[in-house]
Amino acid sequence: MATCSVTVCSNEVHSQGLCNGHYQRKRKGRDLETPLKLIKQGENRVTNPLYTTYRGMIDRCCNPGHKYFSYYGGRGIKVCERWLGLDGFSHFIADMGPKPKGMTLDRKNNDGNYEPANCRWASRTTQQINQRISQVNTSGFRGVHWFKNANLWQVYIDFKGKRKNVGYFKTKEEAIRARVDAELERSFNNTN
């Protein structure tokens, strides 16, 4: 087993004679001689299962080249100072705790920043309920849109990862009422 060519590192080689952590640093033009920050003894950032979640959050908000930047950093969503910099990842872990199975990082207020008071671990269902309304939504209500082919308002709801068509309605008011009723029914079914 070959080890990283950086003198202060003994991790296994990933590419170009460097471990994964130092290889990533080299790609980003960062200093290679500073030791990788250890999260737990014997575990570096790259092998910690939370690092992918953390890195995704940073990239969405800070990297204009990221495919989702326009939905996050591009519309003003930031990552708090505590979660940035050399100790940012360890602070993120301390604030968020371990990631429960089946959960993902979610912001309670979708227009708010990534910070301890606004972040939580949430299920996909909770995130679907919490997501912001699409910019192309003509009704102003999630799950209600004008279906031009039928000249009716269509209502749908996402439940347990599947989209369910609630129906088609002549007026926007009827459609909104049907959507609210479907949400109440979904909430009732989630508690039983």
Domain boundaries, the chain: 1-36, 42-122, 133-191
Cβ atoms 88, 121 nearer than 8 A = no
Reduced to 3 states (helix: H, G, I; strand: E, B; else coil), residue 28 is coil
pLDDT in tens, the chain (192 residues): 688 887 667 778 888 888 887 787 777 777 666 555 533 333 445 567 788 899 899 999 988 888 888 889 998 999 999 998 888 888 998 999 888 888 889 998 888 999 999 999 988 766 665 565 665 666 777 788 888 888 998 888 877 767 888 899 999 889 888 888 887 776 656 544
Q: Structure pTM?
A: 0.52
Q: Which two tokens stand for residue 117?
A: 């008071």
Beta strands in 60-132 (DSSP E): 104-107, 119-122
Place of tokens 């849109």: 145
Which numeric CATH code is attached to 133-191?
3.30.730
**Maximum distance among all alpha carbons in the chain?**
71
Q: What number of other Cβ atoms are within 10 A of residue 155's Cβ?
A: 26
Rounded distance between C-alpha atoms, residue 59 and residue 162, angstroms = 28
DSSP track, 33-45? SSPPPEEETTEEG
Query: What sign does the CA torsion over 171, 177, 183, 185 have?
Result: negative
